[in-house]
Structure 1
Amino acid sequence: MDAVHIGGGGHGGGREPTAQTGSLPPGDLRNALIEAAPELARQGGPEAVVLRAATRQAGVVPNAAYRHFADRDALLHAVSQTAMAQVARTMETTQPTGRSPGPGGRPHPAGGPGGAGLYY
Structure 2
Amino acid sequence: MASLQVTTTLLGVSLALLILYLIRRDHLYLMHGLFWVAVAASVAGLGAWPGLIDKLAGLTGFSYPPALLLLLANMVLLLKALHADMLNTRIERDVRRLNQRLALLEADLESLRQTSPPSVIS
Normalising by structure 2, what TM-score?
0.31
Normalising by structure 1, what TM-score?
0.32
Tell me which protein shows more strand as a share of its residues. 1
Choose between structure 1 and 2 for higher RCO, CA contacts under 8 A separated by at least 6 residues: 2
Larger Rg: 1 or 2?
2
